[in-house]
């Protein structure tokens, strides 16, 4: 017999006259949940990771880099509550468009850079400043994080549905037990208040 620490394993799959249809339903819902987890989590995770990576790489399409000069000194210290944590701050820069006209705007530059020092900025086809596009490694990392989050979301949904089914079956079994006890007591001549 398949016993482990006093419990019979796989009891829902063995013949038993006391086995209820709800026990069989619960076992099949468990199998369905396990199959969904094994098949859907990797599939959804990989699909979302691929879409996330391609989306991040598509942001670089149509952007080109150009040289710019700082108009003012960049702050030497980073504000604790603003700006990215990679040692860059916002400062005013000036660059020349492909038509030869000068433009000015705010871009991320290294903290502590002096006025007149050169930096690289990214422009779109209209000549507007854009954030630095992600590298292929950064795009891959973003895709992996999105894929993992999507896979975790699928896990939560599948396990949540399985749990709801089990709770509903337990409620139904308790109601069946109450009816069975009431019928048993009625046959014995007991009355309940």
What tens digit of pLDDT does each residue of 103-135 get? 888 888 877 778 888 888 888 877 788 888 888
- Position 83 pLDDT exceeds 70: no
Asked whether the CA dihedral 110, 113, 116, 117 is positive or negative, the reply is negative
Asked whether the CA dihedral 11, 17, 20, 21 is positive or negative, the reply is positive
pLDDT tens readout for residues 145-154: 999 999 999 9
- Position 26 pLDDT exceeds 70: yes
Which of 128, 133, 95, 132 is CA-nearest to residue 110?
132
Using the structure block, give the residue that is written with the tokens 């969904």.
Answer: 36
Say if residues 71 and 104 touch (Cβ distance below 8 Å): yes
* Contacts (Cβ under 8 Å, ≥6 apart) of 2: 8, 9, 10
The mean pLDDT of 17-43, rounded to a whole number, is: 88
Share above pLDDT 70 across residues of the chain, in percent, rounded to a whole number: 85
Say if residues 78 and 89 touch (Cβ distance below 8 Å): yes
In this prediction, residue 1 carries a pLDDT of 44
Of the two residues 56 and 43, the one the predictor is more confident about is 43
Return phi, psi of residue 76, to 5°. Answer: -80, -25
Per-residue confidence band for 163, with pLDDT thresholds at 50, 70 and 90: very high
First to last CA, the chain: 45
pLDDT tens readout for residues 37-51: 999 999 999 999 999
Residue-wise burial string across 110-135, b where 16 or more C-beta atoms lie within 10 A, e elsewhere: ebebeeeeebebbbeeeeebbebbbe
Mean pLDDT of the chain: 83
Return phi, psi of residue 127, to 5°. Answer: 85, 15
In this prediction, residue 167 carries a pLDDT of 94
Residue 158 tokens read as 């599948």
Per-residue confidence band for 25, with pLDDT thresholds at 50, 70 and 90: confident
Count CB-CB contacts under 10 A for residue 184: 10
């Amino acid at each position: 017999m398949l016993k482990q620490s006093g419990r019979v394993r796989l009891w829902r799959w063995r013949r038993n006259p006391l086995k209820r249809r709800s026990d069989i339903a619960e076992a099949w819902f468990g199998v369905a949940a396990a199959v969904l987890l094994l098949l859907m989590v990797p599939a959804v995770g990989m699909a979302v990771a691929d879409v996330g990576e391609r989306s991040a790489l598509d942001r670089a399409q149509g952007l080109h880099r150009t040289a710019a000069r700082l108009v003012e000194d960049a702050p030497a210290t980073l504000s604790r509550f603003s700006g990215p944590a990679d040692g860059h701050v916002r400062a005013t820069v000036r660059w020349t468009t492909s038509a030869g006209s000068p433009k000015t705007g705010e871009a991320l530059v290294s903290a502590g850079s002096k006025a007149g020092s050169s930096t690289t900025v990214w422009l779109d086809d209209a000549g507007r400043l854009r954030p630095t596009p992600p590298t292929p490694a950064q795009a891959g990392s973003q895709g992996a994080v999105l894929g993992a989050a999507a896979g975790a979301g699928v896990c939560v949904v599948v396990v949540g549905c399985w749990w709801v089914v089990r709770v509903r079956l337990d409620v139904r079994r308790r109601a069946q037990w109450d009816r069975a006890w009431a019928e048993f007591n009625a046959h014995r001549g007991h009355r309940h208040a």
